[in-house]
């Protein structure tokens, strides 16, 4: 079982990655500047990639993840320098990027990945049944529909 990559190395490489280094330059920097052992390079790079993807959580996960890491870095630096205006702007941009100010479930025409399209289709089938108010969470509509079906079968 491979060793867990050094988290300090991973964090430095994430910041280098989001600053625009090519994959080749990033690997060279990992070895020469950051001190990642050659036998741990692939596991470390995989962890860097995994963490950037996790930061994004979207179909364009890597690029969106890089943007999230960048905004978080700007926010952190602004707070350290007591530049509240820049920190608030970075936070506002992060909220827009992550769509945290939007409803939790997007309509089908705004969906950008297969899961969102499928969720929108489920909503389109369940809302006309009027099991809950418009905009009710799909998971709750599905639970209510299943309960109604089960009750109908018991009759």
- How does pLDDT run across 64-80, given as a tens digit for each residue? 788 889 999 999 999 99
CA 88 from chain centre, in angstroms, equals 20
pTM above 0.85, yes or no: no
> Looking at residue 56, what is its pLDDT?
61
Whether 108 has a pLDDT exceeding 50, the answer reads: no
List Cα–Cα distances, 144 to 136, 140, 148, in angstroms: 11, 6, 6
Distance CA 33, CA 114 (A): 41
| DSSP letter (8 states) at residue 4 | P
Q: Hey, what are 130's tokens?
A: 């009027």
Residue 6: burial class (beta carbons within 10 Å; 0-12, 13-18, 19+): middle
d(CA 6, CA 57): 23
């Amino acid at each position: 079982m491979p060793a867990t990559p050094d988290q300090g190395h991973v964090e430095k490489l994430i910041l280098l990655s989001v600053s625009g280094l090519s994959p080749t330059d990033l690997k060279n920097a990992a070895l020469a500047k950051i001190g990642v052992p050659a036998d741990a390079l692939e596991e470390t790079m995989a962890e860097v990639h995994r963490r950037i993807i996790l930061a994004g959580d979207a179909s364009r996960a890597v690029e969106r993840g890089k943007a999230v890491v960048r905004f978080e870095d700007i926010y952190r630096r602004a707070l350290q320098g007591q530049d509240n205006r820049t920190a608030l702007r970075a936070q506002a941009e992060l909220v827009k990027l992550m769509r945290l100010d939007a409803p939790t479930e997007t309509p089908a025409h705004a969906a950008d990945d297969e899961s969102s399209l499928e969720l929108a289709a489920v909503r389109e089938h369940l809302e006309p049944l009027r099991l809950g108010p418009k905009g009710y969470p799909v998971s709750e509509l599905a639970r209510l529909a299943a309960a109604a079906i089960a009750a109908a079968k018991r009759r």
